[in-house]
Structure 1
Amino acid sequence: MVNSKDFAKRLEKVMEYHDLSAASFADQINVGRSSISHILSGRNKPSLDFVLKIVDKFPEVELYWLLNGKGIFPKSKATTSTPVSSLSEKSTPKIEFETPQKNIAVNEQKEVSEKIIQSSAKKKIHKIIIFYEDGSFEAFEN
């Protein structure tokens, strides 16, 4: 579960990094200004849609860092990956998992990546969301 106070501190860091007020930040991610105010005050917890809007608008914000405080901010450009859709159809996409070993065994990772590779040859992937046992998640969108 996301700790609201810690999330609010990380949200403030993002706003400070971009030199944005709460109102201008709300305008940037297309949410109501009261949403930002309520999250910063601890009254409300952020919704999945709210979090994804931040990650989508500000690519240097790492999802796992925003939710759990683990990772780095701002995310370096070297850690960004190439979307699967930008690869040529003839090449096999390289799928890397950045998960703790206790969550997904290596064999399971191989099975999942094989299934993704097989299905991506037939259909175009729009969005992948990985849910972890600790309640956290990662979303990857084309």
Structure 2
Amino acid sequence: MINSADFTNRLKEVIEYYQFSASSFADKVGVQRSSISHILSGRNKPSLDFILKITTELQEVDINWLLKGKGSFPKVSVSKQKNAQMNPTLINSEIAEPGKKIKNIVIFYEDGTFEEYQK
């Protein structure tokens, strides 16, 4: 069972991250506005359908993080993606075709996340 108070805090973090109001968040994920209000106030617990709507509509929200706080939010950090550096000399000498230089590398993980390394 999930801790409702912790779940509510993580839900608030998601809403703030996307700069939604409670109403616009409800519209975005396709639930009634009163559902958001009741969950945020602690009156109701989230249903599986509600959680799946969030993680389907907002793909940066990891279901394990939302439910249990395990993992990270957002799934892919924009700053990590932009600031990631690679050693093009090492990589070019090991895997690039002769005469070609690698511009960027994208690593896709099974959980749907990815990391991008740019020169």
Q: CA deviation at 1:81?
A: 3.4
Q: CA deviation at 1:56?
A: 0.1
Does the C-alpha gap of structure 1 residues 26 and 79 become closer, same or farther in structure 2, counting only changes over 3 Å?
Answer: farther
Q: Deviations over 1:49-88 (max 9, x none)?
A: 00000000001000000000111000027565388xxxxx
Output the amino acid matched with 1:12. K
Please state whether the residue corresponding to 1:11 is helix, strand or coil: helix
Alignment-derived partner of residue 124 in structure 1:
none
Q: State the distance in 2 between where 1:45 and 1:10 align.
A: 13
Q: CA deviation at 1:2?
A: 1.0
Q: Which runs of no fewer than 5 residues in structure 2 stay unpaired? A: 78-106, 113-119
Q: Deviations over 1:78-107 (max 9, x none)?
A: 565388xxxxxxxxxxxxxxxxxxxxxxxx
User: Is 1:29 aligned to 2:29, yes or no?
Assistant: yes
Q: State the distance in 1 between where 2:108 and 2:10 align.
A: 20
Output the amino acid matched with 2:18. H
Q: State the distance in 1 between where 2:74 and 2:41 align.
A: 23
Alignment-derived partner of residue 15 in structure 1:
15
Please state whether the residue corresponding to 1:28 is helix, strand or coil: helix
Does the C-alpha gap of structure 1 residues 58 and 2 become closer, same or farther in structure 2, counting only changes over 3 Å?
Answer: same
Q: State the distance in 2 between where 1:4 and 1:43 align.
A: 10
Alignment-derived partner of residue 58 in structure 1:
58
Does the C-alpha gap of structure 1 residues 27 and 70 become closer, same or farther in structure 2, counting only changes over 3 Å?
Answer: same
Structure 1 length as normaliser, TM-score? Answer: 0.55
Alignment-derived partner of residue 76 in structure 1:
76
Does the C-alpha gap of structure 1 residues 59 and 40 become closer, same or farther in structure 2, counting only changes over 3 Å?
Answer: same
Output the amino acid matched with 1:50. F
User: Is 1:67 aligned to 2:67, yes or no?
Assistant: yes
Structure 2 length as normaliser, TM-score? Answer: 0.65
Moved over 3 A (4+): 77-83
Output the amino acid matched with 1:60. E
